Amino acid sequence: MSTAVENIAAAPEEADHNRTERLFAAQQSKALSLRTSTAAERIEKLKRLRQAMFDRTEQIYKACHADFAKPAPEVDITEILPVVMEANHAIRHLKGWMKPERKRPTLLMFGTSAEVRNEPKGVCLIISPWNYPINLSFGPLISALAAGNTVILKPSELTPHCAQLMDEIVRDIFDEDEVAVVQGAVETSQHLLGLPFDHIFFTGSPAVGKIVMRAAAENLTSVTLELGGKSPVIVDKTADIANAAKNLTWGKFANNGQTCIAPDYMYVHTDIVDSFIEAMRKAMTKLYGDQSRMDSNPDYCRIVNDKHYGRVKGLIDDATQRGARVPMGGVPANDDNYIAPTLLTDVDRDSRVLEEEIFGPVLPIVPFTDTDRIIGEINAKPKPLALYVFARDNDFIEKVLTHTSAGGSCVNHSMVQFLHANLPFGGVNNSGLGNSHGHYGFKAFSHERAVVRERFSLSFLFLPPYKGFTRWFIKFATRWLS
């Protein structure tokens, strides 16, 4: 999603490694007692966190605006709503999730009973990004608490106002031996990754995900990696053009394109390219107003800092220097990290904007006629976190879904898969490892412990000495009972 522990500015204060180690030791002790925590005790914690979202709404608005001019309605939709929804879903279903799952015996295990118990993993580390700082910190925290764990939360220093507010919220509603926030930059993250956590939940870039996974391997710590990549869009000639333009305009330019599952590049059928670009212009005007005055529109977010502004600007400059046209948007002179919603056409295939994750309000359009060719191009790249298809032709939709791989997909919409509480959210290979949200998030922070109870099974027939009937029974079981 975003770069959480690499190439970032210095932390506002020196990392306090002594405090970190003290917190870790205290949480290790507390985690043992939480193994027997009840659903009611866990739900009470979730309710406190949910209430904090309502009690601190105005402060959340101010923090998000101070960090990257995020408008209050967008904060409601993308920061507060997902956290409240995640808490509500866990509160409603937690008792059921915690019950042991009975398993029927196989033929070979006849005479036994079996169950799977979901046990807390223990002390967990959550390293969260800057692009949705509240959502992507407290969402995983809800899953970790629902599963009965203790948590150290490391928010991004690139959104310092949000990080400080989350620190205050956590201090107000939790004891630090259960949940604690540790602020800092690279050194802090490196120190945390050296500790023997029982689980690490990281949201960030694939490059940093590899660093996290290598560090986790030193302690054989399990990981959930929510990463990113280049999420493709395919707009077929059978698509509802106006609907596709509206949904893609919102999906791409919300949060100024700084979203891990935002459409990253777009294949549009040659027959509809011109009409689609015109539909995007109309959708943009309807959602955000006239583009000439959009830099003063309070509903349009900003790039998080100068560094990322320069990076996104560089992608546009590289593309235009290679001959790309800009039918909409561009980079006007400004002093507040403003980049207009930008479409690029005639993009050279070697342009950086088609190779690097954009993570900004820039959408390159690649015309196509041959579906098999673009499927091949998508499959030649690392597997994306999301893939979007716009079409009315069900055969076309099924062909794309069947012959590609992605963490998740939407048909005739974009990004809403994140809000579906009954679906897993996660990547595949380069775009992530493991799932989150709802029951899947609960399981990510749980160990599935297998328990078998002996009643009157035939296992004694496998014991030595291996003679006569015992040898015959082993052969029989291998052929007929396995």
Which positions are annotated as active-site residues? 226, 260
Q: How far apart are CA 391 and CA 239, in angstroms?
A: 4
> For residue 328, what are the β-bridge partners?
343
Please work out, in degrees rounded to the nearest 5, the angle formed at the alpha carbon of residue 46 by the alpha carbons of 43 and 51: 125
Cα–Cα nearest to 413, from 302, 288, 261, 303? 261
Whole-number Å distance between alpha carbons of 234 and 367: 10
What is the CA angle 66-81-409, rounded to 5? 105
CA distance 473 to 460: 11
8 Å CB contact between 342 and 263:
no
Angle of the 186-193 helix axis to the 17-34 helix axis, nearest 10: 40
Question: Hey, which residues does 29 pair with through a beta bridge?
Answer: none
Q: 139-152 as b/e, with b when 16 or more CB fall inside 10 Å?
A: bbbbbbbbbbbbbb
HSE toward the beta carbon, residue 287, CA cutoff 13 A: 21
Give CA angle at 210 (209, 216), nearest 5°: 90
**Pair type for strands 123-127 and 112-120:** unpaired
Residue owning tokens 């069947």: 402
Distance CA 448, CA 9 (A): 39
Q: How many CB atoms are closer than 10 A to CB 122?
A: 21
Count the Cβ atoms, other than its own, within 10 Å of residue 28.
17
The C-alpha atoms of residue 283 and residue 145 are separated, in whole angstroms, by 41
End-to-end alpha-carbon separation of the chain, Å? Answer: 45
Q: Which two tokens stand for residue 341?
A: 């919603």
